Amino acid sequence: MSHDATAGDRPHTDTAGTQQTGMRDVPFRGGGFVHRPLGPVAPIVFLVILAIWELGSRSGFISPIALPAPSAAFAALVDLFQTGMLWKHLGASLYRLLLGWSLGSLLGIAVGLAVGLFSLARAGLLPLVSALFPVPKIALLPLFIIWFGIGEGSKVATILFGTFFPTVIATYAGVDNVDRNLIRMGQSFGLSWLSIVRKIIVPGAMPAILSGFRISASIAIVLLVAAEMIGAEFGVGAYILMAGALFALDQLIAGVALLSLLGLCIAWAIGKLEKRLLAWRM
Amino acid sequence: MQLILQNITHRYGGSTVLDDISLTVDDGEIVCIVGPSGCGKSTLLRIAGGLEKPGGGKALLSGPTPEGSLNPLTYIFQDFALLPWRTVEGNVSLVLEDHGIARSERTGIIADVLARTNLSDFAKALPRQLSGGMKQRVAIARALAVKPAIMLMDEPLSALDSQTRELLMDDLVALWTRERFSACYVTHNLNEAVRLGRRIIVLSRRPGRIRDIVEIDMPLAERVERLPELESLQRRVWEIMREEAREADREITDVA
Ligand SMILES: Nc1ncnc2c1ncn2[C@@H]1O[C@H](COP(=O)(O)OP(=O)(O)OP(=O)(O)O)[C@@H](O)[C@H]1O
Ligand SMILES: [Mg+2]
């Protein structure tokens, strides 16, 4: 499949003699490059991997010191559930996550709208946002502990700051991308400034804000675990840290599975929200 | 109500776009503006509707605002400018919501304008479900809802195929015959200009000046049957424009 210059010089009657002259189908060259929805593939792949892993562990090919069997991890999860510790850990984590993420998102949307709408806010805040966005917020945790205490405050603040910046950026980029013609249309019909913001700019920026949510939610989970590992009695992060310290690998895997499940639930919820708010796009 | 443009001059950066343009749109009159691409037609219309301040000259209104008119100067845009997240009735409702009209009265107005544009069956449809012609009908319904005195139309049919354009042109003629709105109608399609215009204002290439004005006295409703006469008029306008268009085409745009 080279595109040599010499190839074009000769007329295209390759392999003379096999030239067909009768009636025949036009050769089909389309298709491909399109994704078909294949419903059950994902769970099947997941189950196959689990089965191979379990088999490997049972046969002794995978040493339980290196990696516990899925059944062992599952047993740890069941144990966690039966002792009632599951809700204690998960509850503490969810509380921090929801509080930090929703506060960070609300503030982020407010500041993002201001940056998108007012030149003064853009000139004043955007450099600040750009400077602080790349700072790993977990590096600031000691500072937050001094400011907000070793308890819930510092953990919530870490998540809040972590979600705030990507939300600001997603929101103001969304505002910038709203079709100027629609804004001009609003003005030409004499809509008030507030109406234009509420009915044209905010809905127009909504797709960008929602995809910002996806990013900020995963950042929030990462920060949650990191903050809980540094100083917490309860929480999924604390549970994983404890398991690691005791080399209880089955519990460690169970904790990681919990996190993964949490991430999936959040992604599912955001997907639902998108379906609802962005139904006009489908 | 009359729209009067006096000595409008406008510059973007270093280049003059409009140069000393004066024109009047009288009550119940459709004035068509034609001119080569980039000569400043859209800019002129934005100035006329108060969306942009002219560099020099004045855009004036004269005479009383007609009773019940919520938005005397109302645009119809080439790209329809419908909110994709609102249904057809929601898009019409948008322009009524800021005027403190009671909900029941609002639904009444919406039903009325949708009926007048044959859109009643599509009240709950979203813009993406409609064809281009339908979308422009929604935009026309939206404009009618605020009872405009003067419509400012910037190439309203240019995004449509020629059959749809014919249909909508018939609709516009019927609408005008009933309502006698005034309009400033920008187009690059000379056929539309001779079908709809009481006067056709031909602009020169950039900087846009008034090159010539062609008056057409034939009543709008008769024009469909007298196409050969319009044909010769259209050719006359084209003769005026030809050189300008050719030169404009060869120009290198040096917009900063
Ligand atoms: N906001 C702007 N800033 C700078 N230059 C502009 C701006 N808007 C328009 N122009 C320039 O002014 C000139 C006239 O533009 P305008 O859109 O009014 O022309 P037009 O006659 O409507 O053209 P078309 O037939 O393509 O619609 C063009 O050369 C364009 O590049
Ligand atoms: Mg234009």
Q: Which ligand is nearest to the CA of B154?
A: 2
The rounded mean pLDDT for chain B is 91
CATH number for the domain running over A88-277? 1.10.3720.10
Q: Whose CA is nearest to atom 1 of ligand 1?
A: B12
Which chain A residue has its CA at the smallest distance from B77's CA?
A: A185
Hey, which residues 93-112 in chain B have their CB within 8 Å of chain A? 94-95, 97-98
pLDDT for res A5: 45
Closest Cβ–Cβ partner in A182, A189, A281 for B95: A189
Instruction: Decide the pairing of beta strands B182-186 and B2-12.
Output: unpaired
Q: Whose CA is nearest to atom 2 of ligand 1?
A: B12
The type of residue at B144 is L
Which chain B residue has its CA at the smallest distance from A183's CA?
A: B81
To the nearest whole percent, how much of chain A has pLDDT over 90? 73
B52 interfacial to chain A (CB closer than 8 Å): no
The ligand 1 site (C-beta within 6 Å) comprises B 12, 17, 35, 37-43, 188, 206, 253, 255
B83 interfacial to chain A (CB closer than 8 Å): yes
Average pLDDT rounded to a whole number, residues A239-259? 92
| Candidate from B37-51, B83-97, B240-254 with smallest mean pLDDT | B240-254
Question: Domain spans of chain B?
Answer: 2-65+149-249, 81-148
Q: Are B35 and B208 in contact (CB under 8 A)?
A: yes
- Residue B256's pLDDT band (cuts 50, 70, 90): very low
CA A243, CA A254: separation in Å to the nearest integer? Answer: 10
- Asked if the B2-65+149-249 domain carries CATH number 3.40.50.2300, the reply is no
Q: What is the pLDDT of residues B192-227, one digit of tens each?
A: 999 999 999 999 988 889 999 999 999 988 888 888
Q: Residue A186: its chain B contacts at CB < 8 A?
A: 94
Q: Show Cβ contacts of residue B221 under 8 Å, excluding neighbours closer than 6 positions.
A: B173, B177
Structure tokens at A115: 């940056």
Hey, which residues 116-135 in chain B have their CB within 8 Å of chain A? 126, 128
Is the model's pLDDT at A6 over the cut of 50? no
B213 interfacial to chain A (CB closer than 8 Å): no
| Numbered residues of chain A with Cβ closer than 8 Å to any chain B Cβ | 181-182, 184-192, 195, 199-200, 203, 280-281
Distance from CA of B17 to the nearest CA of A (A): 20
Cα–Cα nearest to B137, from B82, B185, B71, B98 = B82
The type of residue at A99 is L
Q: What is the pLDDT of residues A140-184, one digit of tens each?
A: 888 999 999 888 999 999 999 999 999 999 999 999 999 999 999
Average pLDDT rounded to a whole number, residues B103-108? 94
Average pLDDT rounded to a whole number, residues A213-235? 91
Exposure class string for A175-212: b at 16+ Cβ within 10 A, else e: beebeeebbbbbbbbbbeeebbbebbbbbbbbbbbbeb
Q: Residue B85: its chain A contacts at CB < 8 A?
A: 203, 280
Is the model's pLDDT at B58 over the cut of 80? yes
B77 interfacial to chain A (CB closer than 8 Å): yes
Q: Whose CA is nearest to atom 17 of ligand 1?
A: B42
Closest Cβ–Cβ partner in A187, A199, A281 for B94: A199
CB contact under 8 A, A188 and B74: yes
Is the model's pLDDT at B110 over the cut of 60? yes
To the nearest whole percent, how much of chain A has pLDDT over 70? 94
pLDDT for res A2: 45
pLDDT for res B253: 61
Q: Show Cβ contacts of residue B203 under 8 Å, excluding neighbours closer than 6 positions.
A: B21, B33, B34, B35, B36, B39, B40, B41, B209, B210, B211, B244
Q: Residue B74: its chain A contacts at CB < 8 A?
A: 188-189
Question: Domain spans of chain A?
Answer: 88-277
pLDDT for res B14: 86
pLDDT for res B80: 93
What count of CB pairs under 8 Å joins A to B? 46
Peptide bond into B207 cis (omega under 30): yes
Q: Whose CA is nearest to atom 16 of ligand 1?
A: B40
| Residue A270 CB-density burial (10 A; 0-12 exposed, 13-18 middle, 19+ buried) | middle
The interface pTM score, or ipTM, of the predicted complex is 0.90
CB contact under 8 A, A195 and B75: no
N residues, chain B: 256
Cα–Cα nearest to B10, from B53, B59, B42, B61 = B53
Is the model's pLDDT at A3 over the cut of 70? no
Q: Which of A179, A184, A188 to mutate to test the interface with B (most CBs of B within 10 A)?
A: A188
Q: What is the pLDDT of residues B133-173, one digit of tens each?
A: 999 999 999 999 999 999 999 999 998 999 989 999 998 99
CB contact under 8 A, A188 and B79: no
CB contact under 8 A, A203 and B94: no
CA A52, CA A242: separation in Å to the nearest integer? Answer: 28
CB contact under 8 A, A181 and B74: no
Mutation to probe ligand 1, out of B41, B75, B79 (largest number of atoms < 8 A from CB): B41
Q: Show Cβ contacts of residue A103 under 8 Å, excluding neighbours closer than 6 positions.
A: A156, A160
Is the model's pLDDT at B54 over the cut of 60? yes
Q: Whose CA is nearest to atom 25 of ligand 1?
A: B37
Distance from CA of B235 to the nearest CA of A (A): 34
Average pLDDT rounded to a whole number, residues B51-58? 93
pLDDT for res A1: 42
pLDDT for res B103: 93
pLDDT for res A9: 47
DSSP for residue B10:
E
Q: Are B102 and B113 in contact (CB under 8 A)?
A: no
CA A240, CA A224: separation in Å to the nearest integer? Answer: 12
Closest Cβ–Cβ partner in B51, B74, B83 for A200: B83
Tell me the CA–centroid distance for residue A75 and ligand 1, in Å.
71
Is the model's pLDDT at B12 over the cut of 60? yes
Q: Whose CA is nearest to atom 3 of ligand 1?
A: B12
- Residue B179's pLDDT band (cuts 50, 70, 90): confident
The rounded mean pLDDT for chain A is 89
Q: What is the pLDDT of residues A190-211, one digit of tens each?
A: 999 999 999 999 999 999 999 9
Place of tokens 């994709």: B84
Q: Whose CA is nearest to atom 29 of ligand 1?
A: B38
